[in-house]
Amino acid sequence: MTTTPSATLTDVHDMVVAHRAFRREFRLVPGLVRSVRPGDTARAAVIAGHARMIVTGLHLHHTSEDLLLWPKLLERCPPDAELVERMEAQHERVHDAIERIGPALDRWEAEARPAVSEEVASAFEALHGALVEHLDEEEREILPLAARHLSQQEWDELGEHGVKDMRKKDLPIMFGAVAEEATPEERAALFAVVPLPVRLLLRTVFAWQYRRYVKKVRAA
């Protein structure tokens, strides 16, 4: 059994920064969907593509926790098994909400009909509500446990697992989304874990790419 000594807590704050991006993006989607003019399938395609990307990012984030976080916590702090099991159940509710979105999002992208727009927007509002409930409790209850019971290497593997399965073209956009509201100290920590050549790209070419992407997605 590998645990982190209580005197040397693992730094788990990067998850708080990532959660901030998920809260923001899923909060914005319903308004973006409702702002699309009836029949404007070109604009609907932009928003639908963005929605699918952040849904995929969330799915990969949760899959990493399912595989690499919950089993370790269940093994190492059994008195908190009920809490971990509640986190797993919340993941299932979020996953179910995502499953309901998929078909409606496909229809909306193809037609951009007002009735389907409302269906998609309402579905994302339901997803956002379930997600925020989960993220709030995870930050309040799970992160302190992870800081005590996982090593830094084990924690870092959690983030690496999600990134490796993401489409390469989406990585700069997802990094930019996480860095958007990061403090200078948080942003420095994000940059510190990537190789120098990639760091330079993230500060220049990829930063420009993200600004252009956000302008296109959030255009009024």
Token digits of residue 138: 């995870």
pLDDT in tens, the chain (220 residues): 444 444 589 999 999 999 999 999 999 999 999 999 999 999 999 999 999 999 999 999 999 999 999 999 999 988 788 998 999 999 999 999 999 899 999 999 999 999 999 999 999 999 999 999 999 999 999 999 999 999 999 999 998 998 888 999 999 999 999 999 999 999 999 999 889 999 999 999 999 999 999 999 998 6
* Cα–Cα distance for residue pair 6/88, rounded to 1 Å: 25
CB neighbourhood size of 103 (10 A): 11
pLDDT at 5: 45
Neighbouring residues of 49: CB distance < 8 A, sequence distance ≥ 6 = none
H and E: helices and strands count for the chain: 11, 0
- Which SS3 state, helix, strand or coil, does residue 35 take? coil
pLDDT at 220: 61
Task: Tell me the one-letter amino acid at 89.
Answer: A
In contact, 86 and 67? CB cutoff 8 Å: no
Task: Tell me the one-letter amino acid at 106.
Answer: D
pLDDT at 7: 59
| Distance, CA of 55 to chain centre | 7
Considering the entire predicted model, what is its pTM? 0.92
| Nearest residue to 23 via CA among 133, 116, 100 | 133
Half-sphere CA count of 162, side-chain side, radius 13 A:
25
* Cα–Cα distance for residue pair 123/100, rounded to 1 Å: 7
